[in-house]
Structure 1
Amino acid sequence: MVASFIIILVGFQVLTSAFTSFFEGTAEAPDLIAAWTGFFSALIMYFVYRYNRNLAWKIKSHSVMAAAKDNLSDSWVSIGTAVGIIGSQFGLPWLDPVTAFIVGGLILKTGWDIFREASHQLTDGFDVDLIKEYNETICNIPGVKGINDLKARSYGNNIVVDCVITVKPTLDISTAHDISTRVEDKLMQEYDIYDVHVHVEPD
């Protein structure tokens, strides 16, 4: 959540600088070596972004994914800086503020995306499509007549599911327990869910 606010502030700062630069102009064009340094930095940050993004997918970490998006924003800033420097070298001073406007907009979008995902997770929001998949999987398990309730939430990097299934009222306790165990095992194995709590009710 804090990272998203920082990125948004950086985006506003880039846009403000671009606006100021557009009307004031630049007094001196930076050396071309600064542009190559910017491109090199952008390339390095892009590889860092790719590494952190893949790591986030592997360990299912929203925090690492937020860090990866922050790395991508750094890469955009470096590219924007390099393009602006090259533009000033070729007598195109307007290219710097225009590029800064674009980069600033991209950074703001990144910050907003991180904020939206963090807010969704903190309010126990969950992927609706995954809930539908869980529902279909549970209903296809023999012995399950229906689902009265199904909830899922993220617990750190893991997923926890709570559901209430209905079974035939004539079933004995042992059989009903076996059905609930099959539901738990199926969800945990098929979707790599950390923990599943199943409650059984007669229909």
Structure 2
Amino acid sequence: MNNLDYKDFEKNDIHVLKQAQFIASMNVTFYLIISLAKIIIGNVAKSTALKADGYNGATDTLAYLIIIMGIAFAKRPKNQEHRFGYAKAETISTLITSILIIETSFWVIWKGTINWISNSSTRPDSLAAIVGISCGIMTFIVFLLNKYFAQKIHSKPLLTSSNDQKWDGITAILTGLAIVLSDLGFPWLDKLTAIVIGLLMLRTGLFILNSSAFKLIDGFSNESLSQVKLELAKFPQVERIVKINGREYENDIYISAIVKVDSGLTVSDTMRLTKTIQNYLQRRCGIFELDIQYVA
């Protein structure tokens, strides 16, 4: 990261939000198409597993729509009532997404279990396997693209969603292979696969829920805070770090610190020191805003 002024840093962040919003919009279109294909073909080919995978994709479509709305809200400028801006809207959108995934996973598990109990001997058509494997390969390619762009623009909601896409791709391919085996004489495997898909959705939803809730209650990892402390302690003027706290608003990290300095430092000296520390921590740790107080 270059040595940016705080206004430039904030403009850069808005640019990142716009890019993230565009990428999320493209993902909505992709997931909508393949989800409809899986659900329709799943019904035609009588495959419980492919329909379950389709509902999983439909959930992702809604998830991306929620993320888009969260990103759009997060772009609103700071005001008197929201001095830290609206960045937490992204976290809230991710939290809502996790609840949606968990709810759908319970429904998929329930439907798969009911079909399992019914002990139906109906075998899915091979068309379902072709669609499942093809969609899985396409999803995995989209995952690689999303991961690349998410890392490039440092968008954590997109990175979280791209990790979910990886499993979506793998799940779709395994679903196709399970349908092939079902068609060869193991019809129960199609129902079992639907249940497994539901369990994977539940696992993903709970992971995202835990991560989002941690951020919403201003959780901040000890590892990240320790890194900031180490970087701050490198300045010779800083004799001791009395207190330091951190919180994260998706891509934005806010640090507040109280540090002990030599009593001989003037006000001008501390102002220059603050500016130097701010620019340094921006480059090294991606700190968006630093509130630092000095005590002698």
Give TM class, smaller chain: 0.7 to 0.9
Which residue is equivalent to 1:31?
A: 125
Alpha-carbon shift at residue 76 of structure 1 (Å): 5.0
Which region of structure 1 is more displaced relative to structure 2, 123-132 or 12-21? 12-21
Q: Tell me, yes or no, if the aligned pair for 1:165 and 1:200 is still in contact at 8 Å.
A: yes
Alpha-carbon shift at residue 28 of structure 1 (Å): 2.5
Highest Rg: 1 or 2?
1
Q: Structure 1 unaligned runs (5+)?
A: none
Which residue is equivalent to 2:251?
A: 157
Matched residue SS, 2:117: helix
Which residue is equivalent to 2:177?
A: 83
Matched residue SS, 2:238: coil
Alpha-carbon shift at residue 34 of structure 1 (Å): 1.6
Alpha-carbon shift at residue 177 of structure 1 (Å): 2.8
Which residue is equivalent to 1:117?
A: 211
Q: Tell me, yes or no, if the aligned pair for 1:146 and 1:165 is still in contact at 8 Å.
A: yes
- Structure 1 distance, partners of 2:173, 2:103, is 19
Query: Are 2:235 and 1:141 equivalent residues in the alignment?
Result: yes
- Structure 2 distance, partners of 1:26, 1:82, is 19
Which residue is equivalent to 1:99?
A: 193
Query: Are 2:272 and 1:178 equivalent residues in the alignment?
Result: yes
TM-score (norm 1): 0.87
Which region of structure 1 is more displaced relative to structure 2, 41-50 or 60-69? 60-69
- Structure 2 distance, partners of 1:93, 1:125, is 47
Which region of structure 1 is more displaced relative to structure 2, 104-113 or 7-16? 7-16
Which residue is equivalent to 1:46?
A: 140
Alpha-carbon shift at residue 156 of structure 1 (Å): 4.2
- Structure 1 distance, partners of 2:153, 2:212, is 17
Alpha-carbon shift at residue 32 of structure 1 (Å): 0.8
Matched residue SS, 1:184: helix
- Structure 1 distance, partners of 2:120, 2:178, is 11
| Structure 1 runs, 4 residues or longer, greater than 6 Å off | none
Q: Tell me, yes or no, if the aligned pair for 2:121 and 2:187 is still in contact at 8 Å.
A: no
TM-score (norm 2): 0.62
Which region of structure 1 is more displaced relative to structure 2, 176-185 or 3-12? 176-185
Q: 1:15 aligns with which of 109, 117, 120?
A: 109
Equivalent position amino acid for 1:90 in 2? L
Which residue is equivalent to 1:191?
A: 285
Matched residue SS, 2:294: strand
Q: Residues 161-188 of structure 1, C-alpha deviation per residue, up to 9 Å, x if partnerless?
A: 2212110123222223333333222211
Alpha-carbon shift at residue 142 of structure 1 (Å): 0.9
Alpha-carbon shift at residue 125 of structure 1 (Å): 1.4
Alpha-carbon shift at residue 31 of structure 1 (Å): 1.6
- Structure 2 distance, partners of 1:80, 1:16, is 20
Q: Residues 50-75 of structure 1, C-alpha deviation per residue, up to 9 Å, x if partnerless?
A: 32233332323232234324534543
Which residue is equivalent to 2:56?
A: none
- Structure 1 distance, partners of 2:188, 2:250, is 46
RMSD: 2.1
Q: Tell me, yes or no, if the aligned pair for 1:167 and 1:176 is still in contact at 8 Å.
A: no
Q: Residues 83 and 25 from structure 1, CA distance in 2 versus in 1: closer, same or farther, beyond 3 angstroms?
A: farther
Which region of structure 1 is more displaced relative to structure 2, 32-41 or 18-27? 18-27
Q: Structure 2 unaligned runs (5+)?
A: 1-94
Q: Residues 107-161 of structure 1, C-alpha deviation per residue, up to 9 Å, x if partnerless?
A: 1111111111111111121222010010011112111011122122223422222
Which region of structure 1 is more displaced relative to structure 2, 61-70 or 116-125? 61-70
Q: Tell me, yes or no, if the aligned pair for 2:215 and 2:249 is still in contact at 8 Å.
A: no
Q: Residues 17 and 83 from structure 1, CA distance in 2 versus in 1: closer, same or farther, beyond 3 angstroms?
A: farther
Query: Are 2:153 and 1:59 equivalent residues in the alignment?
Result: yes
Which region of structure 1 is more displaced relative to structure 2, 73-82 or 168-177? 73-82
